Amino acid sequence: MPAQEQEAQIVLDAKEIPVPPSSFVFTERDVILYNLGIGATEKELQWTYEGDDEFAALPTFGVIPQFSASGSVPLDWLPDFNPAKLLHGEQYLSIKAPIPTSGELISTARLLEVLDKGKAAAVTSIVETRDTSGKLIFENSSTLFIRGSGGFGGRRNATDRGAATAANNIPKRAPDATVEEQTTASQAALYRLSGDLNPLHILPEFAAIGGFNKPILHGLCFMGISGKHVLQKFGPYKDIKVRFAGVVYPGETLVTMMWKEGDKVIFTTKVKERDTTVLASAAATLVDGAAKAKL
């Protein structure tokens, strides 16, 4: 193995740091709050009324129970670590079992991979989320880019992990489906109630420190909105992966363009008003090649 591909001792030591499990207790109210946070409406009763016969969490709800566990993976061992220089790069969610609409879920996180990108570090963690019987419900992987924390002599190239790391190149043809959805001015204020209380998404003065002229929408929120579009057009999926390529301001219009390639729906999402890509290298794997949803 070339020297530059060897795992640095600093990474090997970090993998030994214990990360305590995280409990997530929730009710139908939390599911509804999440569904509303990614744009479900009062007319879509299967997502907004607990008494509906088909009441369910939208698939990307799977990023919520794991959130505190993912955030507990230590990063301060990185050289020159500065949390203000942290960017959420990619997210992969695999849905392993039917999603409960209430109960308790236990998430366990571990450090998977740390890449030395020279001027930055790319840190990938894995979170397994189980019910109290031990049944695996979700698996998430999150990749964070920490600017200024590279140069520690670690590997540069990521391990191929199938759908979690796929490039998902856009086919050279018109999209098979396109959905536009305008976010609301209060979208971030609502979505943050599902657990991500970062002031970047609510306080103008904090957003300004990050170089934004106003609070920005959570990346996992517009991932969820695009995931909803895939569900509406192509039916249920068992995993979804995105790369965060830009910011969204609450009130902007998201355009999700989708291409069906076998059992995979490749998609990209742009902000209409600025014609800028915000989700790239994105795809969802359909459940049994799901037919078009009737939602």
Is residue 160 part of the annotated active site? The answer reads: no
Query: Catalytic: which of 30, 39, 201, 224?
Result: 201
Is residue 219 part of the annotated active site? The answer reads: yes
Query: Catalytic: which of 62, 64, 137, 196?
Result: 196
What is the bridge-based pairing of β-strands 276-286 and 253-261? unpaired
59 vs 173: CA distance, rounded Å: 28
Is residue 210 part of the annotated active site? The answer reads: no
Query: Catalytic: which of 216, 225, 240, 266?
Result: 216
Is residue 30 part of the annotated active site? The answer reads: no
Query: Catalytic: which of 37, 62, 219, 227?
Result: 219
Round to the nearest angstrom and report the end-to-end CA distance of the chain: 51
Distances (CA, A) of 107 to 2, 48, 130: 35, 26, 6
Q: Which residues contact 21 (CB under 8 A, 6 or more apart)?
A: 69, 106, 107, 108
Residues known to be catalytic = 196, 201, 216, 219
